[in-house]
Each structure stands twice: as structure tokens, then as C-alpha cells.
Amino acid sequence: MSKELIRLIDCSMAFDDEIVLDSINLSIKNEEFLTLLGPSGCGKTTTLRIIGGFLQATSGDVLFDGERINDVPPYQRKVNTVFQRYALFPHLDVYENVAFGLRLAKLPEQEIDDRVTEMLEIVSLKGFENRSISQLSGGQQQRVAIARALVNRPKVLLLDEPLGALDLRLRKDMQQELKRIQQTLGITFIYVTHDQEEALSMSDTVVVMDRGRIQQIGTPEDIYNEPENAFVADFIGESNILDGIMLEDYVVKFFGRKFRCLDSGFEPNEPVDVVVRPEDVEIVSPEEGQLTGTVTSVTFMGVHYDTIVDFHGFKWLIQTTEHHNVDEVIGIRLGPDDIHIMHRSEYSGMFGDYSSYSEEYDEMNDPDLYPEDLSDESSDLEEETAEEGSET
Amino acid sequence: MIHTKRLATPYIVWMVLFTVVPLGIVFYYAFTDSITGQFTLENIVRIQSYMPIFIKSIWLALISTLVCLIIGYPVAYYIAQCPPSRQRLLYLLVMLPMCISFLLRTMAWVSLLDDTGIINRFIQAMGMKPLPLIRNNGAVVLGMVYNYLPYMILPLYSVILKIDSRLIEAAQDLGCNSPQVFTKVIFPLSMPGVISGFTMVFVPAVSTFYISQKLGSSGTTLIGDVIESQFKAAYNPNLGAALSLILMVLVFICIGITRRVSGTEEVAMP
Amino acid sequence: MKTFQRSFTYLVLLFLYIPMLVLAVASFNAGTDPAVWKGFTLHNYSELFADGVLLPMLLNSVIIAVLSSLIATVLGTMACLGMHDMKPRLRNMYMTVTNIPMTNPDIVTGVSLALLFAFAGTLLKMKSVLGFTTLLIAHVTFSLPYIIMSVLPKLSQMDPDLQEAAMDLGCTPRQAFFKVVLHEIMPGVISGALMAFTMSLDDFVISYFVYGPKFVTLPVEIYNYTKKPLQPKIYALFTLLFMVILLVMIIMTVLEAKDEKQQSQRRIAFRGRRKRKEVEG
């Protein structure tokens, strides 16, 4: 079965005074496709580079096959990397680039030729041996980089946002191809990306990170259906996140109404974050609805309409295939499996309202919106909603 | 990556030893009496008598630099606009004189400008009286311009070349005609090259001694000549050191001024 | 406007080359005065080669130039590798020191080195310090900044991941340098070395202050010659030097232009040779 291949124990990384990784604990199994997912600056690339040996953790241990490898340099690790900008050697052609690692290992010429030819075939670059790097397209360079890494038969392949520079359709094709290669060769892939769709479609395990900490580890389905905090809920897909109170197991109250849900294990009357996915909301007439609200904007997205609805001053995103008019009053119904409950965290109150899609837009319009010290802000909000809760 | 910083250590040791320390020694000699070896300000005081020579050096160097700028700018501009193959050829032609002995090239001007030189023989053959073309300030300036013109052209050329053509297009799009494109976009953007060229001409010009020796007279003795004679003829290294010190200060001031004017720390390399 | 610029440029070029033409013509002159043409002769050239003093000086200059540019290239390239890794503050300090010989007038550099050597002489209780070593030291010193200015930009322009990629694939840092980094910075190294070589060959002012009687370079010797009325064999020397340097520069420029084409052609040919060997063998 699958055994543990890599383990990070309490790894922290600090650059001067800045803490980039805060006590990361991670276990990576043999033959799994694991993705480190998060916004830029969350520490995912740093984690990857620590595993690769290009950075040394300020504290903590990195174990490979049970052995501590903190001090082992990258050229001695059984790990290879596919770099974000490919890092192909310009003075060598495709063949020599791919053969580079094999030549260093001083393998016999015939074996080098066999393995390089085989690998070029796997990445669909047969016949490209003599091309110079500058003559290749982005996608082709990408595949040379992959071939160059894999030809050395490493136990682990590290991929640092390798598909970022490709256009959309090619990216989707390459995602499938990478997954296929990984499963065929049975190599552990550790993949870094900020694109959550990419992470969900390729991975066996997703590790969501923010600000140097792991927010959640799970399968793609788990991460999507059962996010553990507001950050994960907001980062993966679109989410409406509301303040609510867990009255008792399976019963939550928000907007002054009680709703049945599927979650349990919370304290009675615990303030919680409530997640409702836009595609799970059923629109009905105002009389039939559990809640009523006013439509404030409708955007045609092709597959569905992005409909922004105002409920008591809080804007929801509802994705529906029917068109509704602006200023129309509508009702909504939520079934128990449409509602997901999360514990409150430092992220509560930061996400989930659809006055705008992005933080940056909010900031642009109101520079005082997100003051420097975020910890003060969330505690203010908690006090507010606690008062609200006691009123209703 | 790992521990490569130490690779630079031999270099910095060498540079400190052979660049910084010698300057310190100049300092030391400047403030030392030549006979007794005691600390003295006398060398500095004696500099006062050389003030006219300093001023003449600066003056002639400034004129030469300006002439170089006026002549050199159109040339650099033209070369930058040529197709790449012609550019390479022209660049080569401008650079070539720099690589060949400036002593001999200066001597060539002597034989051109001399009273019995080529130009005067030509003039005499036409029936006119010979002109005093040599042993005056004009000849010295000519010599300086001739020797240092490439040092102005090459940095200008390399900076003008790098000007993003899209900036020119943007200016035209916003309504500039050709002269305006030059004054509002190209010339301001070429300033780093102008500064660089200015420095690379002024510094050698103000400190030269050979050009003034050959093309000038006793009336055009420059500070370089004085320093040279202190070291080679009348062996007074202390005075020579003091004069060198002032020259250095002068150069630093010049560079400081140009940096302040341009607001940039970079030196454009040809 | 363009035609004015063009004619002006060629006029300036003419201005730059006329004196050199004068000397070249004078080298074939039977008379000693360049202003007076006394007939065509190659006599000056034969005198030049017969001269037992000038040509050895040329050799001295070449020796110093080769040695000093080699030493400067190695020292300077190592320095660039180190500087590339430094934090901006430390790197700026190094750059300030690097700029000193470039911004100082030659005469100050020459004088300061002469004083340094005199000082060292009194310390080591040596009578005459100046000689081959001092000359070499001086030439390396003024060449170093040009190596740095040539190589460092190439290092900055290099894809920073390349070195890591090499190490990822199994290179020790040393191997990564020789197999990958060096190839990337080679154009800078070569142009820096050539610049150092040329500057060393041509240097007069600095050499003038630090040379010793037993090892004289050509420019210094020429200076001594120019103190007396010039002998025509000097013109011959100049013309020869001019021809050689012209040739070298033409070759360099042509090589630069053809370099890219040659490299890719070579690769394809080599691969073809390989495949043929496989089929045959």
C-alpha cells in the first residue's frame, strides 16, 4: 500500500524578521499527487523549495524515507524539479537538456540514448531532439522541462506552478497529461498552484495554505464540500458566508430564521460561519421562500447567470440558469445539504459578501476598509454579531 | 547560492590594497614634508600658486567636453538609427582610434599643425602666410577633442539605442512633431548617456599632460604637466601628492555635481 | 535632417581618421618630415624590423597585456559571482570600490601606485621596487573594473533558476558553474577580457609612473622616442599596429554576427553524425 515518503515536522521559515512558514506539519505519501494550494505569499513555493533542498528551514525537520535530510544539498536528493519558467539550458538543444542529469550520473551512452528517447516519446516530443530551446513554443518548453526532470527517475517530482504561462485550453490538456504521466510512472508529484480548479482536477490530496499556515488538508471533494474555515470556503469556488448561531446539532439560525443542516459537534448556541454555495440556492416566489431579498445585479456568464441578491444588507451570489430582473423581489429555499457549518476563525467576517468579487476592488473604493492590523478588526466584528445574535 | 560570497574576497583584498591604500598614501604624502617627514600643511599652501594652472585646466577641459558633446551627439544619434549591420561597422570605426596609441595620434596633429607642418605648407603653397596653429590653447582643445571624442560618442550611442521605440510612438500618438519628440522624449531619456560621456571626457581632459606638452606651449601648462614634473623631473612627491589630491577632489566634485543633476547613480558603459 | 546627420557623421569620421592617414602615408615617405613627400619607400619598415629595441618592447607589451587580462578576468569573474549573491548594501560597497579606478584620472592612479610601491620599497628595504611585478599589478588593477562591468550585467540577465536547475539535476555548485553559468556569461567574459587586453596594450600614463628600467612597454618607449624628432620607423610601427588592430576588430565583429548561425548548424550536424554511427555500429 502507500507508505509515507516525506514528512515535514514543525517546519518554520523566517526571512530576516518575516515569518514565511509557521510550524508546518505535512505528510506526503508514496505515489500520490499532492497539491499545495493558496494565494501568492502563502508559503507554498517556500515549502516546495525546502523539500527540494534549495532552502533550509529555519527550524523543524524534513524527513525523506524516515531519514532527516535538512542538510542534504539538492544535487544529492532523489528529487527533481520542474521550474515555473522552465529553466531550460539555452546553450544545449532538447536532447542534451533532457540528457543533462543522466550525463552527470555518468551513465553509459546507450542507456542515456534509450531513456532520453523514451522520455521524449512520453511527453510527445519525438523528433525534437536537435531543436534549439529558443525555437520551441511555451508548451513544448514545458514538456522538455518535464522530460528533463522525469528521465532521472526521481522518487518525487516537484512542480512549481508549471502551467501558469500557457493559455487556457493548452493548460487543461497539460493538466490531464500530467495526471496521466503521474499515474503511469507511479511517481509522487508535489504540485504548487494558486489555481483552485487546477488543484481540484488533478490532485489526490489538496493542502490549502495561507500566510504560512496550513488551513486544511483533504481530498478535492472534502475541501470543496466541507471547508473548515472561511478562508478555504472562499478560496475554493464561490461561497456565501454568513454569521450564524448553532442552536443545537443539525439546527442553525441565521437572518432570524432556523434552518435544518447536516452538521453536528458544535457547542449549543456557538457562533459559527455558515456556507452556502451559489449553485445550491433554489429561487422561488417570495411567498414560498424561507428568506426574501431583492435582486441588485444580473450578469450573463454563459453557463449560468451570476445573480447578486440583497438580503438584509448582505449581498449573496446565486448562480441560476433562469434570468431574474434587477429590483425583483425573490424568495429562496435551502435544503439541509445546501448548508455547511464551520467553526469561526480569524477569517470570519473577511469573506463571503458579494458587494464586490475582490478585496482589491473594495480597497480601491475605500482605502480605510482593511486597516493594517487585521486582528483588531475581526474581534470588533465578533462583538458586533454577538450583540446581534443576542437580540434575535 | 551557498557560500559564493567568499569568491569575491580576493578581489576586494586586491582592490583595497591597490586602490584604496594608495589613495591613503597620497593623502599621507600630501601632508608630509619632503625632507623631514613631519606633518605639514605647506604643500597645500603652495598649491595656491598653482591656482591659475588649475583654472586653466578646468576651463580647457570644459570647452573640450562641450565641443565633444556638440559634435558627438548627432553622430551617436545617427548611428543608433542605422540598421544593425551598418551600426556595427560605424561602432567599430568610432572605437578603433581609441585602441591605438594616443601618443602617436597626437604627434600626427603636431605634424599637421606645426608651423612647417602639412596644413601650413598647403597654405603657403596657396600664397598665404602661415598660421600659428600650434602651441596655443586652441591646439590643446583640438587635441583633447580629437582624443576623447569616442568616449563621448559610445556611451551616448548605447543609451540612445536603448530608448524604447514605443515611447517615441506614444509621444507621436499624443501629438508631438519630430522636433518635439526629440526635445521632450529622446533628449531627456538620453541624459544618462550625456552624463556618462561628460564624465568620461572631462576627467581625462582635465588631467592630461601629454597633449598639452606636445600641442601647447609654456603658456598652456596644465595641472597634469605639473604633477608629472614633480614626480619625474624635480623629485618632490609630496607636492605632487598634494596636487594629485586636489585634482581628485576636483574630479569627485565634478562627478557629484553631474550625479545631482541627473539623479542617477549609474554609469553607462559603452 | 537624416542626410545632414549622415554627412555630419562621415565628416566626423574623416576628422578622426585623417591624422592616422597622415601617419600611414608618412610611413612610406622616403623623407623624415611627414609634411614633405620625398618618394615612396619601404625602407622605414625594414628599419623597423631591424630595430632591436622596438620589437622587444612590443613583445613586452603583449606579455603584460595577456597576463594582466588573464589574471583580471579570473579575479573579476570570481568577484562577479560573489557580488551577484550579495545583498544590495554590500554589493553597493563593492561597486563603489570598483568605480574608484574608473573615475580617477589615470595620472592619479599612476601616481598613487607609484607612491604605494615607493612606500613598500622603504618597508622592504629595497632600493628599486619598480619593475615587471609593479607593472603587472598596475595593469591588473585598472583592468578589473572593466571585467566587472562586463560580466556582472550578464549574470543579472541570466535566468536565476538555471543554476538551481543544474543542481537539481545533480550538479555540485562548482559543476553548475562550469557546465551552465559560464556558458551564459561567456560573451561578457570575453568582451571584458578583450577590453582589458586592449587597454593594457595601449596604456601609457599609468605604466609611465610604475615601470622599471628593465621591463619597458611599447607606449612608454614611444614616449621616449617622441621627445626627440620622430624617426620614420615609428610611423611604420604605427601603421602596422593600426593594420593589426583593424584586422582583429573586423574579425571580432564578423565572428559576433556569425556566432549564432554556427552554433545551431553545429548541433544539427553533430546529431546527424551520431545517428549515422548508430546505424553503422
Please write the tens of the pLDDT for every residue from C146-167. Answer: 999 989 988 888 888 999 999 9
Q: Which three cell numbers stand for residue C180?
A: 551552465
Q: Which domains, from first to last, does chain B contain?
A: 52-221 (1.10.3720.10)
Q: Under a CB-based contact definition with an 8 Å cutoff, are residues A20 and A38 in contact?
A: no
Any idea which residue has 519630430 for its cell? Answer: B178
Q: Do residue B88 and residue C20 have CB atoms under 8 angstroms apart?
A: no
Determine which of A100, A115, A133 to mutate to test the interface with C (most C C-beta atoms within 10 Å).
A100
> To the nearest whole angstrom, how far is the Cα of A55 from the nearest Cα of chain C?
11
Map grid coordinates 517556500 to a residue.
A46
DSSP-derived pairing of the beta strands A205-210 and A213-218: antiparallel
> pLDDT digits over B52-76, tens only?
888 888 999 999 999 999 999 999 9
Flag whether pLDDT at B146 surpasses 70.
yes
CA A363 to chain centre: 24
User: How far is Cα A8 from Cα A15, in angstroms, rounded to an integer?
Assistant: 19
pLDDT digit string, tens, across residues A280-294: 999 999 898 888 999
- Cell output for B138: 586652441
Q: Phi-psi bin for A43: left (phi > 0), alpha (psi -120 to 50), beta?
A: left
Chain C residue numbers with beta carbons less than 8 Å from the beta carbon of A156 are none
Inspect the interface and report whether the beta carbons of C8 and B78 lie closer than 8 Å.
Answer: yes
For residue C169, pLDDT over 60 is answered with yes
pLDDT in tens, C203-219: 999 999 998 888 888 88
Q: What is the pLDDT of residues C2-44, one digit of tens each?
A: 788 888 999 999 999 988 888 888 888 877 777 777 788 888 8
Cβ atoms of residues B64 and B71 within 8 Å: no
**Domain A226-391, CATH 3.40.50.280 — does that match?**
no
Closest approach of chain C CAs to the CA of B124, in angstroms? 12
Q: Where would I find the H helices in chain B?
A: 9-15, 21-30, 42-47, 51-81, 84-95, 102-113, 118-125, 137-161, 165-173, 178-181, 187-189, 191-207, 210-215, 223-232, 237-262
SS3 per residue for chain A: CCCEEEEEEEEEEEECCEEEEEEEEEEEECCCEEEEECCCCCCHHHHHHHHHCCCCCCEEEEEECCEECCCCCHHHCCEEEECCCCCCCCCCEHHHHHHHHHHHCCCCHHHHHHHHHHHHHHCCCCCCCCCEHHHCCHHHHHHHHHHHHHCCCCCEEEEECCCCCCCHHHHHHHHHHHHHHHHHHCCEEEEEECCHHHHHHHCCEEEEEECCEEEEEECHHHHHHCCCCHHHHHHCCCCEEEEEEEEECCEEEECCEEEECCCCCCCCCEEEEEEECHHHCEEECCCCCCEEEEEEEEEECCCCEEEEEEECCEEEEEEECCCCCCCCEEEEECCHHHEEEEECCCCCCCCCCCCCCCHHHHHHHCCCCCCCCHHHHHHHHHHHHHHHHHHC
In B, residues 54-93, which contact C (CB 8 Å cutoff)? Answer: 71-72, 74-75, 77-79, 81, 85, 88-90, 92-93
Distance from CA of C169 to the nearest CA of A (A): 5
Q: Does A104 contact C169 at a Cβ distance shorter than 8 Å?
A: yes
CA distance C176 to chain A (A): 10
| Cβ-Cβ contacts under 8 Å for C59 (sequence gap 6 or more) | none
Q: Quick one: CA dihedral C15, C17, C23, C24, positive or negative?
A: negative
**The model's pTM:** 0.80
With b for 16 or more beta-carbon neighbours within 10 A and e for fewer, the A356-387 pattern comes to: eeeeeeeeeeeeeeeeeeeeebeeeeeeebee
Which subunits sit against C, judged by 3+ Cβ pairs under 8 A? A, B
- Per-residue cell: B75: 553622430
The predicted-structure confidence for B188-198, as pLDDT tens digits, reads as follows 888 888 888 88
Grid cell at residue C164: 538551481
Contact B229, C96 (CB under 8 A): no
Segment C184-197 shows an average pLDDT of: 88
Q: Which of B12, B116, B203 sits opposite C105 (nearest CB)?
A: B203
| Contact in structure between A151 and A98 (CB atoms under 8 Å) | yes
Per-residue pLDDT of chain A (392 residues; tens, 9 = 90+): 578 999 999 999 998 888 999 999 999 999 999 999 999 989 999 999 999 999 999 999 999 998 999 999 999 999 999 999 899 999 999 999 999 999 999 999 999 999 999 999 988 898 999 999 988 988 899 999 999 999 999 999 999 999 988 888 888 988 998 999 999 888 999 999 999 999 999 999 999 999 999 999 999 999 999 999 999 999 998 899 999 999 988 999 988 889 999 988 888 899 999 999 999 999 999 898 888 999 999 999 999 999 999 988 889 999 999 999 999 999 999 999 999 999 998 888 888 788 877 777 777 777 666 555 444 444 343 333 333 333 33
Whole-number pLDDT of residue A1:
53
Q: Between chains, do C183 and A148 touch, taking CB under 8 Å as contact? A: no
Contacts of C170 in chain A (CB under 8 A): 75, 101, 104-105, 152
| Mean pLDDT of the region C162-191 | 91
Provide the pLDDT for residue A101. 93
Question: Residues for chain C: how many in total?
Answer: 281
ipTM over 0.85: no
Q: Mapped to the 3 state alphabet, what secondary structure does chain C carry?
A: CHHHHHHHHHHHHHHHHHHHHHHHHHHCECCCCCCCCCCECCHHHHHHHHCCCHHHHHHHHHHHHHHHHHHHHHHHHHHHHHHHCCCHHHHHHHHHHHHHHHHCCHHHHHHHHHHHHHHHHHHCCCCCCCCHHHHHHHHHHHHHHHHHHHHHHHHHHCCCHHHHHHHHCCCCHHHHHHHHHHHHHHHHHHHHHHHHHHHHHHCCHHHHHHCECCECCHHHHHHHHHHCCCCHHHHHHHHHHHHHHHHHHHHHHHHHHHHHHHHHHHHHHHHHHHHHHHHHC
Domain residues of chain A, as ranges? 4-223, 226-391
B165-169, C10-14, C135-139: least confidently modelled range: B165-169
B26 touches chain C (CB under 8 A): yes
| Nearest-10 Cα torsion for A152, A155, A160, A161 | 100
For residue A79, give how far its alpha carbon lies from the nearest alpha carbon of chain C (Å).
7
Chain C interface, mutation test: which of B16, B17, B18, B198, most C Cβ atoms within 10 Å? B18
Residues of C in contact with A93 (CB under 8 A): 267, 271
**Is the Cβ–Cβ distance between C94 and B12 less than 8 Å?**
yes
Cα-based torsion angle of the residue sequence A366, A368, A369, A375 in order, rounded to the nearest 10 degrees: 170
Mean pLDDT of C119-148: 88
Residue B268 has pLDDT above 70, yes or no: no
- DSSP state for residue B32 in the 8-state scheme: B
Distance CA A311, CA A289 (A): 12
Contacts of A149 in chain C (CB under 8 A): 168-169
Judge: C168–A74 Cβ closer than 8 Å, yes or no: yes
User: Each residue of A328-369: pLDDT tens digit?
Assistant: 999 999 999 999 999 998 888 888 788 877 777 777 777 666
Interface membership of B210 toward C (CB under 8 Å): yes
pLDDT digit string (tens) for A134-149?
889 888 999 999 999 9
The architecture CATH gives domain A4-223: 3-Layer(aba) Sandwich (3.40)
Q: Residue B78 and residue C11: Cα distance in Å, rounded? A: 13
Residues of chain B contacting C85 with CB distance shorter than 8 Å? 1, 4-5
The closest CB to that of B15, out of C16, C97, C256, belongs to C97
